Structure 1
Amino acid sequence: MTASENTPALSSIAKAVFAHDKLSIGITLPITRENQSAVDFTEQIALARLADQLGFRAVWVRDVPLNSIDYPDPVGHLDPWVLLGALASNTQNIALISGAIVLTLRHPLHVAKGAISVDALSRGRFILGVGSGDRPPEYAAFGRDPDGRRDLYRQHWATLAEAVNVPSRVIPDRAPEGAPEFYLLPRQNASIPMLAVGSGGQSVDWIARHSLGWMTYHREPQAQRGRYSMWRAAVDRAAAGAFRAFGVAMRLDLSDNADEPATDVPLGYRTGHRALVALLHDMRESGTHHVTLNITSERRPARDIIEEVAAHVLPAFHR
């Protein structure tokens, strides 16, 4: 099987988020202030509805199974499948993306069932982003060996890909004599696109062969250009001339001064909207196809920031 045969064609929702020579913009939930732990998820769903109405292309949801005193993110995240189900029922057009389901800590058939369920509720608007997790103590809590996560990620990816593809195929862990042939319901109309979020311990060549694209975190521009060049070379080795997307999660502290120049903050920028447009144009020229904004602000309501980005930034990219 060739690399292009191994990777399903992009669905319509994947094409809306990831397109050659274009940049799309999404948001990541929940949107919180620094060190905020309690989250009003009714408000978060309202923010997703607003982003949908204003033309953002995607809303991303994280998977944080367990919290601990030494984990830097204090937020009480909802189970991603529960939140994605609520978002599917409260939005109309925006893509729903898991960023990312911890594939090594969940059984791939459970992940497949969740993905098919969200895709059905959202009428085909789901993109399945998966990762490997990076906290050894969390592996121990689930009885997993962190040293085996690379192999486990590949094994789970293979089982999951068969289950969410069309035609769907269930690969059981064990099949004793006389066991029935299992299948997943509801039946899918189209394959669910799978996206590598982070490396999962894999080479870029493996990701280029198996994933619709590669989602990574913000780096300073020169490093990110090098990252994209490495990705493009891997894609050309896997399937010369094929399109594989490259996306970035970027923190945004949007100033109420539209002309404030961009300054670095951890994993992103503080900036006014005019400099943000210039930054995003540079990212597109450097090879990025999608940016999801991790919005943060101690001074401004999230709704105001979403509305300002929609009014002054989206028109430059979402034509």
Structure 2
Amino acid sequence: MPAQAVEATSTRASSPSPEPIEQRVFRAGHLSIGLTLPMLPAGQIVADFNEQIALAQHADALGYRALWVRDVPLNSADYADPVGHLDPWVLLGALAANTTRIALVSGAIVLTLRHPLHIAKGAISVQALSRGRFILGLGSGDRPPEYAAFGADGDARRELYKRHWETVAAAVGSASRVIPDQAPDGAPEFMLLPQPPRPVSLLAVGSGGQSVDWIARHSIGWMTYHREPDAQQARHSMWRAAVERAAPGEFRAFGAALRLELSDDPDEAATPVALGYRAGRHALAALLRAMRAHGTHHVSLNLPSSPRPPREVIEELAEFVLPEFHTEG
């Protein structure tokens, strides 16, 4: 075998999917739908992750566009959200090996509490295992006591976020390079292998303490929590203005994480709940149409513990809601 072929085989992973995965999730004028893991039945706070993998495979087959994985380092009885999460890199690796088409998105890796080179290594690993289906969502964490538990300074998170972002971006980009924390005399030049099938795209999840102009310059888009429609529309207008200032003429995505309690009555009207709605499928479709009209490109549905089994919910949505939004071309 020629030396060039040996090098290509040993350093670069398998061929990627035919289009950049971010274009399947975020497209101008379209809205796609994803799911946040874990999806739990009522009363369960620690997931059976074998069942989560099975649900992920089912979502892949049903045509959902993305699976979102949270980074929750620690749990506390004082937290309102008691769900037990796997380490995100472990779960993302399992998802990469057990799905074929759906995008895998970290929503979000806590950039300020992990070393950026560890994050970069995890990102290129998932990108390789998934054959180019990974989007690296990055956040700063929103629980100050966790900073103290990790010996980090919460007051420094804004600068830390920017500095770590630069290191990660350099390592997972098309011209990958390692920015070391320190470079003593005689230190070797480092690299990260294997090279992924394509560079890893970086997505801002939340603001990370940064301005929207900074996010528009550095990220493929901005993912936020759901807000009531007027507030969300104002937020989107602010985002579009920032994109025009910071990246004129370029596409930058806008997405939202939406909590959904899907009623078994398809005609039930939408009722606001924390960070989302309880609604029947007809009202949900109407809400999604309005979000699309206002410029939202992706919605990640968070299905909290509810009386309806998650499999039943995602099957109903796949049959009656997804076809309207997941048109090709």
User: Taking structure 1 as the reference length, what is the TM-score of the superposition?
Assistant: 0.95
- What's the offset of the Cα at 1:33? 4.5
Contact preservation (8 Å) 2:96, 2:104: yes
Does the residue aligned with 1:119 lie in a helix, a strand or coil? helix
1:225 aligns with 2:233: yes
Bigger drift between 180-189 and 94-103 goes to 180-189
Amino acid of the structure 2 residue aligned with 1:252: L
Q: How far, CA to CA, are the matches of 1:161 and 1:120 in structure 2?
A: 17
Q: How far, CA to CA, are the matches of 1:218 and 1:173 in structure 2?
A: 37
Number of the residue aligned with 2:204: 196
Q: How far, CA to CA, are the matches of 1:153 and 1:298 in structure 2?
A: 35
Number of the residue aligned with 1:169: 177
Within-5 A mapping of 1:47-66: 47-66=55-74
Contact preservation (8 Å) 1:255, 1:271: yes
- What's the offset of the Cα at 1:240? 1.4
1:16 aligns with 2:29: no
Superposed CA offset, 1:10-33 (max 9, x none): x61000000000000000000124
Contact preservation (8 Å) 1:254, 1:297: no
Amino acid of the structure 2 residue aligned with 1:218: H
The structure 2 residue matched to 1:178, chosen from 175, 186, 203, is 186
Q: How far, CA to CA, are the matches of 2:87 and 2:305 in structure 1?
A: 24
Does the residue aligned with 2:168 lie in a helix, a strand or coil? helix
Identical positions, percent: 70
Q: How far, CA to CA, are the matches of 1:178 and 1:50 in structure 2?
A: 52
Label 1:111 to 1:74 Cα distance change in 2 as closer, same or farther (>3 A).
Answer: same
The structure 2 residue matched to 1:31, chosen from 29, 39, 43, is 39
Number of the residue aligned with 2:243: 235
Contact preservation (8 Å) 2:131, 2:197: no
1:98 aligns with 2:116: no
Superposed CA offset, 1:99-139 (max 9, x none): 00000000000000000000100000000000000111110
- What's the offset of the Cα at 1:241? 2.0
Bigger drift between 303-312 and 37-46 goes to 37-46
1:148 aligns with 2:144: no
- What's the offset of the Cα at 1:297? 4.7
Amino acid of the structure 2 residue aligned with 1:180: P
User: Taking structure 2 as the reference length, what is the TM-score of the superposition?
Assistant: 0.92
Q: How far, CA to CA, are the matches of 1:299 and 1:160 in structure 2?
A: 41
Q: How far, CA to CA, are the matches of 1:263 and 1:18 in structure 2?
A: 27
Q: How far, CA to CA, are the matches of 2:27 and 2:218 in structure 1?
A: 18
- What's the offset of the Cα at 1:35? 5.8
Does the residue aligned with 1:253 lie in a helix, a strand or coil? strand
Within-5 A mapping of 1:84-163: 84-163=92-171
- What's the offset of the Cα at 1:141? 1.0
Contact preservation (8 Å) 2:267, 2:281: yes
Superposed CA offset, 1:232-261 (max 9, x none): 000000021211000000001111111111
Q: How far, CA to CA, are the matches of 1:36 and 1:265 in structure 2?
A: 20
- What's the offset of the Cα at 1:36? 3.0
Bigger drift between 269-278 and 147-156 goes to 269-278
Q: How far, CA to CA, are the matches of 1:239 and 1:120 in structure 2?
A: 29
Q: How far, CA to CA, are the matches of 2:249 and 2:269 in structure 1?
A: 37
Number of the residue aligned with 2:323: 315
Superposed CA offset, 1:245-287 (max 9, x none): 0000000111111111111111111111111111100000111
Q: How far, CA to CA, are the matches of 1:131 and 1:189 in structure 2?
A: 24
Give the RMSD, CA atoms, in angstroms. Answer: 1.0
Does the residue aligned with 1:104 lie in a helix, a strand or coil? coil
- What's the offset of the Cα at 1:299? 1.7
Amino acid of the structure 1 residue aligned with 2:312: D
Contact preservation (8 Å) 1:250, 1:293: yes
Aligned length: 309
Contact preservation (8 Å) 1:80, 1:98: yes
Does the residue aligned with 2:95 lie in a helix, a strand or coil? helix
Label 1:31 to 1:66 Cα distance change in 2 as closer, same or farther (>3 A).
Answer: same
Contact preservation (8 Å) 2:128, 2:197: no
Segments of 5+ residues of structure 2 without an aligned counterpart are: 1-18
TM superposition outliers: structure 1 runs of 4+ over 6 Å = none
Does the residue aligned with 1:27 lie in a helix, a strand or coil? strand
Contact preservation (8 Å) 1:35, 1:74: no
Q: How far, CA to CA, are the matches of 2:69 and 2:324 in structure 1?
A: 25
- What's the offset of the Cα at 1:75? 1.2
Amino acid of the structure 2 residue aligned with 1:242: E
Number of the residue aligned with 1:8: none
Q: How far, CA to CA, are the matches of 1:213 and 1:74 in structure 2?
A: 29
